[in-house]
Structure 1
Amino acid sequence: MKNLSCLIFILLFLLLQEKTAAQSTKIDSLERAVAGNLANDDRKARDLFFLAASFINSNPKKSLDYIDQGLSFEHNIKDKGIVASCYRVKGAILNILARFPEAITALNTALINDRATGNVYGVAGDLSNMATIYIYQSNFPQALNYYQQATKIMERIPESDPNSYKDRKRDEAAIYSNIGLVYIETADYIKAIEHFEKAISLQEKLKNKIATIPSLGNIGNVYGRQKNFRKAILYASKSAKLADSLGDKVSYARETGNLASYYSQMGQYDLALNYGLKAIALNKVLGNTKSIGFNMQNVAEAYAKKGDLEHAKFYGLGSLRIGQDLKMPEIQKNASEGLSQLYEKLKLTDSALFYFKKYAMFKDSIDNSKKRDEIARLGIQYEFDKKEATYQQQQELADEQMKQQRLQLALNAEQLNASLRLRSLQQVQLQNEKLQKKEKEKLLLISINNGKLQSVKVKQLSQEQKLDRLELKQLWLYTILIVVVLCSVLLFVYNKYRIRQLRFKNTLQQQQAEQRNKELSYRSQLSESELKAIRSQMNPHFIFNVLNSIESYIMDNDKRMASRLIQKFASLSRLILENSTKSLVTADREWKALKLYTELEAMRYSHSFSYDFVVDEHIRLEELLLPPMLIQPLIENAILHGLIIDTQPDAHLAVKMVQNKTGLYITVSDNGKGYHPQNKTQPKIGVKEKSIGIQSIRERIEMINLQYEDSKARFDIKIGQGERGTTAMLCLPNYFKVA
């Protein structure tokens, strides 16, 4: 993964010992206040400082101008805390603009002033900002040393400090964010993401949206290092969108560059170029030379993958120059590697070796530095883990107290529910006793009624027996009648069914006969069209001319050329005869026949025209099927009616095959005399007088569309500008070879 910026959380706004209402003042009010204050005093310096802080992410150059205005009268400023804050912000701005030596100088000045005034928050901010600069320069021991000093200072600040709860939580979020960066360097990506997510959670609770931007970008960076580019793009896009909405132009430009790198490594080079060039333009406006170096390397890589080696070389050399100017080993290493691969493709082995040696030198330097830094990383990681354990213990204690409270509430609720259930059970028992009493009364009444009904049933039994005998006789009569009627109905239905079946068979036979007639007609027309194409392709005039050319080479004692002509002519004849026996052939055989035919025509006309055959890179010819002898007439027309009639030095024939979801597109283009179907006064120059095979092609396209209902085959001819050049296009459905 190349050149992905880790967004370092900078303790930037730990600026003054006292919080001032000017921090929330609108920018326009601050600008009016500065313009109206003619005295170079503490108030004006403070207003200029907050103006600079407001523009640090949206316009670093403008921010630097405001800070320089404030520092221009630093000797008149009585509160040295303001001076220290101005130098701290200046160091952060210069870091963004990749002016690292100047940034270190400014931060050292801020550190001296903060120590002199006892501003512990300022000292922590100065050290943390310097740590970010050393990380960008790959000087991890120095970066970790400064960050460790800043962390220890933050730990020594007592709980009773007058700073608010928000300040504490902000510092906690900063610690989580920086611990995440350490875990990135030690390749513990799971813990890195865990800490960045904790930082985001705290920042969202504090409603500090701008502080969530670097954490989102860092999560994207982790996924990018793990080659999970879809998630990397998701988080980088979130970070860029939030930065754009908040006017953070620096972060927006950085995430745009990161998106370019992700898309490049996914093979989406057009998107990579779009984002990479956009990032370069944004960083040029911001003056962020360091980011431009990374962006140019991403753009160079995308151009190289697309085959545009000149643009790749331009951006690769530009990236290397920036790395050399800024003395950043990471940029120089990546740029040298890209240039080595580029010059290898250009067959410039000396240059490729030169840049490979530079790449190896920077790689060894960085690797050795990383090995030396490993022990330092492990030591600082122990300190971070210890700090993290303290936070986790506090959190676990709070969670345990919350669980005990919830358990007590649940116990009280359970006791209340038990008393309610006991009361409900008593009510149910009382209702059950009442229901049992009512049930006994009902059973007694039912037994009395049953006795009365029994006597009535005995009387009715004799009457029912008599009625049963009569009903049995009637049942037999009705059964016989129903059987007779049912048989009659079944016989009638059966006759109707037989008549319908006979009619259906007759209709079906007629339809099948009509269908067979249509198929025979289609096959006849298709065979006739194919025979026309064969006659057009292997016409006697062409054979005669080829044989004359062979005889000419033999007479001129050019046996090699004559033998070559005979071999190609034999191969072409064999391919045409083999392909003509099938309605569909593999595209590689048909493409080979077309190339042989074109080469024979070029040799026949003494190479008076050039030609090329282009196939889309993702097309597999051996898996596609094409109707044979459908494209050749278009090539023959282009040569005989376009390029040979009106010869010109740059006569050229281009045959191209492109495939998409809708079908297969074959174009035959020439820059000769245009196609004029109505012009019947064209001069005869020894070739056919009318367009060869056009009507046959149209007939075959019509047959294909009739034979395959879902087919959308079509054929078009267009004339170029100035009535010169002709482009014929065939659109065929995608026929794939069955394995």
Structure 2
Amino acid sequence: MSSKKSVKIMLLKTGVNLCALATLLFGALSANALQSYQQDTARIEYETRISGATDSIDKLNAYFDYGMFLDAEGETENAITNLEVALQIAENSSNYKEMARVANSLAALYLMVGDLEVSTAIYKKALECAEKTEDNTEIAKISMNLAGNYSFNGDYNNAIKYGLYALKIKETTNNWVRICYHYMAMSNIFKETGNLEKRKQYVQRAYKMKDVEGCASVSDIAKIYNGLGGIAEHQFKHEEALAYYDTLKVFSEENGFTQGIGTALTNSSLIYIELKEYEKALEMVLEAEEYSNGTPYDTVFSNNCKIEIYWALNQPQKALELAIENISKEEMTYYSAERLKCLQFLYELNFVLGHYSDAYNWNDSLHVYQEYLRDEDVRSTIEDLETKYQTEKKEQQIELLTTENLLRRRVMQAAIVIVIILVLLVALILYILRIRRKQAKYIQNELQQQVLRSQMNPHFIFNVLGSIQNFMLANDSKKAAGYLSQFASLTRATLEYSSEDTISLSDELNMLKNYIELERMRFQNKFDYQIDYDENLELDFIKIPPMMIQPFIENAIKHGLKKRNEGGLLKLQIADKTDWIEFVIEDNGEGMPKMTTKPKGHKSMAMKIFEKRRKLIQQKNNKDFEYRIQNLKDLNQNHSGVRIIINIPVLNE
């Protein structure tokens, strides 16, 4: 039966008056025509304002208002164009207040289209301008927006830094306007780092303030209900979480907040995935997409939900295709949490489908990214910063109360007594602060050295284990066992010596031999190596800092010998120079086009760590610690490769 015939029968059965229906349809068309006419009229009015503006402020406001109108109409690209013109006008007139206002809105639009890098740069410019105006409300708002960008990208140190900066301004000035927005932004940062307790604290603060006039907008209250649902979900309280998401949906419907409706539906779908009600979960995700603003983040997040559902519905190929499409999106670079989730899907789906090579590659990418996002030092720094802020705030409150009481008690005393007390108090505080600064600096140096010594390249670990696995799959158990033993020895030595200030030269050489042998295995023996030193050298009695040579050996193999198919040679010569041990590392790779005595520009993480350790050891022991790099082709056109000379101080007592 045709659709037209079906409609006609339905109308007849329900007794609908066709004339009345025609009248309704005509009315709807008329309403649409009226809306279109009003939009066109508004555009003409904005364009007339722009052309008729008599001064820079009028023209700036005209472009800004037109841009915000276009954004409301869904024309984000055109809105960006108009706001950029408004920003240029503000810059030309050095109007920092307007520069801050326009740049803040412009950065938000760039975030909507998925260009997080440009958005962050513009937020920084907005913050600089706001700080020049000393407008605390604007400074706090922009700083928290900037914190949100850094949180999106997984840069949690900067996220917490700018978030606490914004919060400190609001609380110290008793500015409670939209304070709930700031509390919820902080809770989201701690959500990303996995700190449930801190996340819960900030959500509860926002919840207590949500009904206070001016403390929360509609979107802020929606975020509070969403945050409460997220905490309940994390605690596996599924019914409680669904109740909060239902409250969020009803609240958003009552206030015409479509984004909140979509968020409630999407998060509810995640609960139904946990409850294994996959059909219902898929239904809710698809319904949520109807309320989406179409931002890149909404698309990425929704796709990840559908990937998990399709997989659960035994459609792994469909899930894999959607995961590949999702990870290929340019904007995915900026959404750290969703990117991590998508990498996990790609690894597991490829493994299930038997694509073991692809699974191995995605697993490698997954572990590298996990190492970056879940770094314990980063999380510790974030929590320490927040704890320090809370402590300082309490100390400021205590100090304020103490000062008030002191003034009450001393109000009748002579001025000279007050001056003497204040001078002594200031002197005591300065003295204590000076002592604490010295202690903190010393402890910081000690801790930093321990942290720097505890590095081990995860990429190297994954590749070695992968190579050993290949020997096992090839039934070459003898080689697999031998290399596994070397790897265990290297790992054990690394863990043992990382906490030591010094180790013997003999132990250092054993570690290097194990490391080089493992690298030769990875590169299928494409290079040989030789270690030369004087037989009279007392290897067991010479003490040096541990693990200083390995980064240079790694670079020689990775950048010098990797591209050679055969005939590669790595040389290590060791000589006793009384106060230091001279290590000469030489490879016959292709070398580097240009070389100076000190490397400039980009450095690997291992080389940055070496440089920091070198300076700390030099400072602590008051001994020279030098190295230099020579491009062999610069010395002799017939030679190729790189020579590195390192003078490591002997640290025997």
For this structure pair, what is the TM-score category when the shorter chain's length is used for normalisation? 0.3 to 0.5
CA radius of gyration, larger in:
1
Structure with more relative contact order (C-alpha pairs < 8 Å, separation 6 or more): 1
- So what's the TM-score if we normalise by structure 2? 0.48
